[in-house]
Structure 1
Amino acid sequence: MKPINEYILKTPLTIDDVLILHSGDKVLLNGEVYCARDATHRRMIADIKSELEVPFPLMNSTFYYAGPSPAPPGKIIGSVGPTTSSRMDQFLEYFLQMGLRATIGKGERSPEIKKLFEKYSSVYFITCGGAAAYLSSFVVRSDLLGYEDLGAQALIRLWVRDFPLLVAYDCYGGDLFESGKIHHRRINLIE
């Protein structure tokens, strides 16, 4: 069994960052990630097609499939857990063509989607589902960027420090779910 490597990476991720990663690797991510769910994806695509500018650079960006809850008093953000990634599969290639480098969510995705990560030298990370309050402790800043009318699906930029991730699909066709690593032994995201 291939050993699991651990990396500390900073966004924006480059192709070189992605090329070192293999399914099962642990990553502590630092920098900016953009919370975007299905309604957000639809709105961004409509804006781009209408030649409106998206409020952040898509090239080498990272999408976090999450809808943060409102911040309680004295906190930066409320709970910020991942949502099921397969709901965003219909939009993925559009954003990969525009330079999206990584996505973060939970759950398996289709074989066709796995091939897109290979084709576009991109990566799919997973993080702890069911640990949304804990994950908020890795957020050091939160900015509303747009689509406030979408509520929990508004476009939000999170600044994260040592955000714990596992590489689920790498750009070589590696699959954490298929390999059995995720089912046959416990992988600690946080030590």
Structure 2
Amino acid sequence: MSNIIHIKTPLMDDTTANLRIGNRVLISGIIYTARDAAHQRLVELAGQGKKLPFDVQNQIIYYVGPSPAQPGRPIGSCGPTTSYRMDVYTPQLLAMGLKATIGKGNRSDSVIEAMKQYKAVYFAATGGAAALLAKRVKRADVIAYQDLGTEAIMRLEVEDFPVVVANDIYGNDLFREGMVKYQNR
């Protein structure tokens, strides 16, 4: 495949500055999982001035609730969750240094503005490809909130995890551009 950008975590400003909507990206390194309930807990901890279970600085959070792992595999199917449910929490995490999120679907205007302000990006992962995405996970460890079951926070080691830049640090939105192009046909 041509025109694929390979990035490694943790993400730095120079990396996010070079990404544009529509870029196909392969991520290698460490990413973290979190969904609604975990996000609520993270924001509550931050509001109380307490330490989070992992340092979000320059990290990526993947919105996913993976299925149980089959024997010999680090993780079960792990397709993206709809992102807008985390929009209420995302600006605060971006302000704390989070550099990217991965999910499916579009983001709110407040999240897009926060991404511009904090030089963060939003990656879209392919919905319906959960089993294929799981093959890119080399290791998965629960690091917090085990009581949440599949929504516990996990530390994933990934290799060439495929995503597309849906929102860049410049305020561009792949979903909106796609709708405009479609309407102009």
TM-score range, shorter chain: over 0.9
Determine the structure 2 residue equivalent to 1:15. 13
AA matched with 2:139: R
Match of 2:63 among 65, 69, 90: 65
CA distance 1:117–1:153, change in 2 (3 Å): same
Aligned equivalents of 1:146, 1:98: Cα separation in 2: 18
Shift in alpha-carbon separation, 1:183–1:86, aligned structure 2, 3 A = farther
Q: Which residue of 2 aligns with 1:28?
A: 26
Q: Deviations over 1:64-92 (max 9, x none)?
A: 00011111111111011100000000001
Deviations 1:12-63 (A, max 9, x none): 0001100000000011000111100010011122233344322322110100
RMSD after superposition: 1.8
- Structure 1 equivalent of residue 172 of structure 2: 174
Q: Is 2:137 the partner of 1:135?
A: no
Classify the secondary structure of the residue corresponding to 1:40: helix
Report the CA distance shift for 1:74/1:181 in structure 2 as closer, same or farther (over 3 A).
farther
| Structure 1 unaligned spans of 5+ | 185-191
- Conserved 8 A contact 1:176-1:182: no
Could you list the runs of 5+ residues in structure 2 that have no partner in the other structure?
A: none
Once residues 172 and 44 of structure 1 are traced to their aligned partners in structure 2, the CA distance between those partners, rounded to angstroms, is 27
Return the alpha-carbon distance in structure 2 between the equivalents of residues 6 and 38 of structure 1: 31
Taking structure 2 as the reference length, the TM-score comes to 0.92
Q: Distance in 2 between matches of 1:179 and 1:79?
A: 30
| Deviation at residue 183 of structure 1 after TM alignment | 7.8
Output one character per residue of 1:94-138: Cα deviation in whole Å (capped at 9) or x when no partner: 101100000000001122321221111100000110111110000
User: Within 5 Å, which residues of 2 pair with 1:149-160?
Assistant: 149-160=147-158
Equivalent position SS for 1:162: strand
Residue equivalent to 2:90: 92
Number of matched pairs = 181
Cα distance in structure 2, aligned partners of 1:107 and 1:64: 13
Identity within the alignment, %: 48
Query: Any idea what SS the aligned residue of 1:168 has?
Result: strand
- Secondary structure, counterpart of 2:140 in structure 1: strand
The answer on 1:123 being equivalent to 2:94 is: no
Q: Is the 8 A contact 1:106 1:129 kept in 2?
A: yes
